């Protein structure tokens, strides 16, 4: 029995259960679909068990597959933890750093701080998962998950990166044409921009709930924060977004803050760096330091909203201003 091959096959098996298809795993790993299928076949042959029920429409784990999945996730997680803990004892910043965060935050703040890191630490690389879902550092073998808002899971270790609050705003052009709503009821005559999924508590639904349609007409809904921001900058309507999304535009004058009377005040929550391991690796420390330095304290978007000059603010804002 080739232990290294078995571990590799287990990784492919876990990925396949999560993805629900061979083709999705093949695309992620950059291999042929037949290669993924052969690894699953090899694992089934080794274990003398059928792990998936296969059909043209679906790929579902059998009872044996479900049992193996539960055990394999723990085995791979323990192995990754052991590897990370051993590496963390070394001073060298190297290896693969796995991070998950919202797409807009990743594009705006994580990616721009990486270039200098890779120059400083040539042995370091990163896998960045840009996702709207709540990634779990424990089960998904992540070094770090960047989470927003309140933290319900106290089992994980977290460090607060910055404050976050929601801001209601629109472009100066929209306000000049449609006016500024002075009250909650005045929103009924305005166009709103919101989160696409109707069940999402983010955006307008966090403060208006199911009465959203009573207070305004949603002309644009999108999953992505940046798409909502761009629509607001273009004058499509009024948006309610986190300050780290719109702060630089407000600083540039591309958006103006609105204060409808009667709208519940947005509470201040946080942006949290969440990890499972008590001892952070050297590469994770280096990344957290680089990200913290890039964002600054107070955060660049907060300083931009106050009209303060800040080099990172200017760099991000200039990039945003030229986007359509």
pLDDT digits (tens, 9 = 90+) for 7-43: 899 999 999 998 888 999 999 889 999 999 999 999 9
Across the chain, which distance is largest between two alpha carbons, in Å? 73
Task: Give yes or no for a contact between 33 and 23, defined as CB atoms under 8 angstroms apart.
Answer: yes
* Bridge partners, residue 271, by sequence: 148, 162
> How much is the average pLDDT of 145-165?
86
Instruction: Tell me what the mean pLDDT of segment 270-274 comes to.
Output: 94
In 3D, which of 149, 120, 124, 122 has the Cα closest to residue 134?
A: 149
Rounded Cα gap, residues 312 and 247, in angstroms: 13
Q: Which has more pLDDT, 266 or 298?
A: 298
> Among 60-64, 184-188, 229-233, which range has the highest average pLDDT?
229-233
Q: Residue 205 in contact with residue 250, Cβ under 8 Å? A: no
pLDDT at 42: 93
Task: Please tell me the distance from the alpha carbon of residue 281 to that of residue 301, in angstroms, as a whole number.
Answer: 29
pLDDT in tens, 58-69: 789 999 999 999
Q: What was the pLDDT predicted at 147? A: 92
Query: Region 90-118: what's the mean pLDDT?
Result: 89
Confidence bin at 291 (pLDDT 50/70/90) = very high
Q: What is the pTM of this model?
A: 0.69
Average pLDDT, the chain: 86
- Going by C-alpha positions, the residue among 107, 96, 180, 204 that lies closest to residue 146 is 107
Residue 112: is its pLDDT beyond 60?
A: yes
Give per-residue pLDDT as tens, 130-149.
988 888 888 888 999 999 98
pLDDT of residue 85 exceeding 80:
no
Domains of the chain: 3-71 (1.10.10.10), 90-162+269-297 (3.40.190.10), 166-257 (3.40.190.10)
Q: Report residue 253's pLDDT band, with 50, 70 and 90 as the boundaries.
A: very high
Cα radius of gyration (the chain): 23
Decide if pLDDT at 323 tops 50. Answer: no
- The DSSP bridge partners found for residue 130 are 101
Using pLDDT thresholds of 50, 70 and 90, give the confidence band for residue 81. Answer: confident
Task: Provide the H-helix boundaries in 30-62.
Answer: 33-47
What tokens were used for 155?
A: 């089992």
Q: Calculate mean pLDDT across residues 188-215.
A: 72
- pLDDT at position 118 is 92
317 confidence band (pLDDT: 50, 70, 90): very low
Compute the average pLDDT of residues 307-311.
64
Q: What percent of the chain stands above pLDDT 70?
A: 88
Q: Tens of pLDDT along 165-181?
A: 999 999 999 999 999 99
In terms of Cα–Cα distance, which of 162, 190, 177, 183 is closest to 297?
162
In DSSP notation, 172-231 reads HHHHHHH----BTGGGGGSEEEEESSTT--STTHHHHGGGHHHH-EEEEEES-HHHHHHH
pLDDT of residue 215: 63
Q: What's the pLDDT score for residue 28? A: 87
Query: Is residue 314 exposed (0-12), middle (13-18) or buried (19+ Cβ within 10 Å)?
Result: middle
| Residue 185 pLDDT class (50, 70, 90 cuts) | confident
């Amino acid at each position: 029995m080739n232990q290294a091959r078995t571990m590799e096959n287990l990784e492919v098996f876990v990925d396949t259960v999560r993805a629900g298809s061979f083709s999705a795993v093949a695309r992620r790993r950059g291999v042929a679909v037949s290669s993924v299928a052969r690894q699953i076949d090899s694992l089934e042959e080794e274990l003398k068990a059928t792990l998936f029920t296969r059909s043209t429409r679906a790929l579902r784990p059998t009872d044996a597959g479900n049992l193996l999945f539960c055990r394999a996730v723990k085995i791979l997680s323990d192995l990754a933890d052991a590897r990370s803990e051993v590496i963390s004892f070394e001073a060298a910043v190297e290896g693969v750093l796995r991070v998950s965060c919202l797409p807009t935050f990743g594009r705006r703040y994580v990616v721009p701080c990486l270039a200098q890191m890779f120059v400083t630490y040539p042995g370091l690389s990163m896998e960045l998962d840009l996702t709207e879902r709540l990634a779990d550092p424990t089960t998904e073998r992540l070094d770090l998950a960047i989470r927003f808002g309140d933290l319900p899971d106290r089992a994980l270790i977290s460090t607060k990166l910055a404050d976050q609050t929601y801001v209601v705003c629109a472009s100066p052009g929209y306000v000049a044409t449609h006016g500024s709503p002075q009250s909650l009821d005045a929103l009924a005559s305005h166009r709103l921009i919101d989160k696409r999924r109707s069940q999402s508590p983010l955006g307008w639904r966090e403060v208006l709930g199911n009465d959203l349609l009573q207070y305004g007409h949603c002309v644009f809904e999108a999953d992505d924060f940046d798409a909502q921001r761009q629509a607001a900058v273009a004058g499509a309507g009024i948006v309610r977004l986190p300050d780290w999304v719109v702060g630089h535009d407000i600083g540039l004058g591309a958006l103006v803050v609105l204060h409808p009377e009667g709208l519940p005040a947005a509470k201040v929550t946080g942006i949290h760096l969440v990890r499972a391991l008590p001892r952070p690796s050297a590469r994770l420390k280096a990344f957290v330091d680089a990200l913290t330095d890039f964002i600054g304290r107070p955060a660049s978007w907060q300083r931009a909203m106050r009209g303060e000059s800040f080099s990172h603010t200017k760099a991000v804002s200039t990039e945003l201003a030229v986007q359509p």
